[in-house]
Amino acid sequence: MQMAKFVWSHKLVSISIAILVLVVSSAIFLSLLAPFDPYAINVKMANMPPGTPSVDGSGTHWLGTDALGRDLLSRIMLGSRVSLSVGVVSVILSGTLGTFIGLIAGYYRGVIDTVMMRIVDLQMSIPSLLAALLVLYVLGPSFMNVVLVLAITRWMIYARVTRGLTLSLREELFIESARALGSSDKRIMIRHLIPNLAAPILVLATLDLAIVMLTEASLSFLGLGIQPPNTSWGLMISEGREYLRSSWWLVAMPGFAILFTTLSVNIIATWFRAKTVKSNAQRVTIPKVASK
C-alpha cells in the first residue's frame, strides 16, 4: 500500500528506478536474461531489422541484429556490464580521492589548501575528454586504464565541493564543542564532518555517474575505450555508424540505452537532492539575539 502510494506520487522517479533495476539486473544476470548468446555470430542474419524471427525459429530478435548477425538486445545487455562497471568504479575512486583531498584542504587550510586548490584549478582548465584521450593514447586502451583515466579527470569536482562544505562546517559550534570535549582532528573528521558531508557528496556522485558513463561512451566511440570483442554502448554506436543509412537500429538502440540510463540516474539524483535539502531546512539556526 505504502509502495503504491510512493509510485503514484513519484511517477517519474519510480519509472527511473525501474529502468535502473532492469539495467543493473541485466548486467548481473546476463546469462539468465539474455535471449541469445551475445557472441554467437551468424553472417546470414546480418543487419536484420527489429522484430525479425531467429533463424531456427526459437525466438525473435526484438531489437534486430548487428553486422555480424549477433542479437542486438543481448549485445546491449553485455554492453551494460562494461558501461555500468566503468561508471561505478571510477565514480567511487574519484569520489573517495576528491572527498579526502577536499576534506584535508578545507579542514587544515593554509599551505595544503592553497597547493591543492591550485592543482584543482590547473586540472579544471584542461578539457577532461582531451586529457583522457591523450593519456589513453599513450597508455593504450584497456578496462583498467579507462577507469583510472576517468577517475583522475573527475576527482576535482569532489575536492571543490567537499572543501567548500568543510569550510562552512568547521566554523559550526558543534565542531568547536567537539574540540572542547577533547576530540582529535581525526575524530572530528570521521564522526562529525563526513556524516554531514555524505548527502551532498552522494548527490554529486549520482550526477557524476551519468557524466562518466557518457564520457566512457565517447571514449569507446573514438576507439580509445573498450576494445572488441568485448563491448560497451559507446563502442556499439561507433561500430554501427558505418551502416547508419541502411540499419538505423545499430546506432539508435544503444543510443537509447545510454539516454534512458543516464536520464534515470539524473532524475533519481535530482529527487534525492530535493529530499535532503528539505531535511536540511529543518535545521533552522535562530539569529543571535542583539544584546543591548
Partner 1 sequence: MQPILDVENLVKEFPFKGDKKNGVPRAIDDISFQVFEGEALGLVGESGSGKSTTARCILHLLKPTSGKVSFQGSNVLEMNKNELKSFRKDAQIVFQDPYSSLDPRMKVGDIIGEGIEIHNPKISKQELRNEVIEMMELVGLRPDHFNRYPRAFSGGERQRIGIARALAVKPKLLICDEPVASLDVSIQAQILNLLQKMKEELGLTILFIAHDLATVRHLCTRIAVMESGKIREIGDRSQIYENPQHPYTQSLIAIVPEPDPISERARLVERKLSKLKEQP
Q: Choose, by CB under 8 A, the member of 57, 110, 140, 195 that binds partner 1.
A: 195
Q: Work out whether 196 is an interface residue with partner 1 (CB under 8 A).
A: yes
CA distance 106 to 100: 10
Question: 194: closest CA among 156, 162, 171?
Answer: 162
Which sign, positive or negative, has the C-alpha torsion 235, 239, 240, 244? positive
Q: What SS3 state is found at 52? A: strand
CA distance 80 to 84: 6
* Residue 131, C-alpha cell as written in the block: 586529457
Q: Work out whether 187 is an interface residue with partner 1 (CB under 8 A).
A: yes
CA distance 195 to 189: 9
Q: Work out whether 290 is an interface residue with partner 1 (CB under 8 A).
A: yes
Q: Which is nearer to partner 1, 31 or 282 (CB)?
A: 282
Q: Work out whether 291 is an interface residue with partner 1 (CB under 8 A).
A: yes
By CB under 8 A, the residues from 224 to 283 that bind partner 1 are 282-283
| Widest distance between CA atoms in the chain | 91
Site track for partner 1 across 125-164, x = CB under 8 A: ----------------------------------------
Q: Which is nearer to partner 1, 31 or 279 (CB)?
A: 279
Q: Choose, by CB under 8 A, the member of 20, 179, 248, 271 that binds partner 1.
A: 179
Q: Choose, by CB under 8 A, the member of 29, 62, 177, 190 that binds partner 1.
A: 177
Give yes or no for a contact between 61 and 52, defined as CB atoms under 8 angstroms apart: yes
* Residues binding partner 1 (CB under 8 A): 172-174, 176-183, 187, 191-192, 195-196, 198, 282-286, 288-292
